[in-house]
Amino acid sequence: MSLNKKVKTALDETRLLILGAQVLFGFQLNGVFQEAFASLSLPTRLVDCAGQALMTLAIGLLIAPSMQHRLVENGEDTTRIHRVTSLFAGLALLPFGISLGLSIYIVFHHLYGTPVALIAGTVFCVLAGLFWYAMEFILKRSIGIKPMQEEEKPTPLPTKVDQMLTEARVIIPGGQALLGFQLTVTLTRAFEQLPEHAKLLHIAALCCVALAVILLMTPAALHRITFMGEDTQSFFKMGSWFVIVAPVPLALGIAGDLYVATSKASDSATLGIVLALGGLAVLAGLWYVLPIAIRTSDRGR
C-alpha cells in the first residue's frame, strides 16, 4: 500500500473513532440537564465530570494529527505523519474507554444501584482494553507484522485536496455533537435555573461552535460552488486555512460548556473553572502549540 493510501486510511479510521466520541460526549453533557440527574449522588455526578474531561482529551488527541498534517507537513504525506496519526489514535482510545465505563456506571447506578453499576462499568472498561489494546498486541506479535519503509514522494494535488476535506470531516463531528447539545439544552427547565453568567457563557460557547461548524463546511462549499469541483492550488490553500482556523472557536466552545456542565453537575464553580481552563490548555497544546513547536524545530534543523 502506498504512503498516500496509508495516510488517507489512517484519517478515515480517525473519523470513525471521533464519530463514537461524538455520541458519548453529547450524552455526558446533555445528561447534566436531565431531570433525573439532580437525584444522583454527588460522587456519581462527579463521575460524569471526570467522563467529560476524559472525552475532551480523547477528542483533542483524535483531531491533533489533522492539525499536524496541516501546520507541520502542509498537507504532504510523510512517514512521520502516518506514525503520528496511528500513535494519537491509539492514545485516544485509553481516555475513550475509561470514559465509556464511567458513563455505563452512571446509567446502571441510576437504574440498579452502586454494586451493579461498579460491575457494569468495570466490565466495559476491561472489554474496551481487551479489544482495543490486548488483542492488537497479541495479534501483532503472533502474526509478526513489521512496518514497511515507504519512500516519501511529493503528494499529488488531488490527494492533498481529498485529505484536506477528509480532515474537515474528522474535526466537524466534535462540533456537531456540541452544537446539538447546546441548542437542545436551552429548552430544558434545568437551563432556566442556571445563574445568568452561566447562561451567557453557554450562549457564547454556542456561537463559537456554530462558527466552527460554518468554517469547517466552507471548504466543501468552495470546492463545489466556486471551483466547480476542480482541484487547484489556490483552493487547497484556502481550504487548508479554514481547517486550521476552525478549531480555535471549537476549543473555546468546548471549554465554555465544560464550565457550564461541570459547575452544574458538581455545584462547584471552582471545579468548573479548573476543568474548563485545563481542557482549553490541552486542546490548544495538542492542536496548535505542539504542531508549531515541531514545525519550528524542523525548520531549525
Band (pLDDT 50/70/90 cuts) for residue 144 is low
Band (pLDDT 50/70/90 cuts) for residue 108 is very high
Distance between CA 226 and CA 178 in Å, rounded? 29
Q: What pLDDT, on a 0 to 100 scale, did the predictor assign at position 34? A: 87
Dihedral sign for Cα atoms in the order 93, 94, 96, 100? positive
Residue whose C-alpha cell is 512496518: 147
**Shortest CA distance to 178 belongs to which of 101, 68, 279?**
279
Band (pLDDT 50/70/90 cuts) for residue 197 is very high
Domain spans of the chain, in order of start: 3-300
pTM for this entry = 0.92
Residue 170 near residue 11, CB atoms below 8 Å: yes
Please state, rounded to an integer, the average pLDDT across all residues of the chain. Answer: 89
Residue 66 near residue 174, CB atoms below 8 Å: no
Band (pLDDT 50/70/90 cuts) for residue 137 is confident
Over residues 245-281, the pLDDT tens digits come to 999 999 999 999 999 999 999 999 999 999 999 999 9
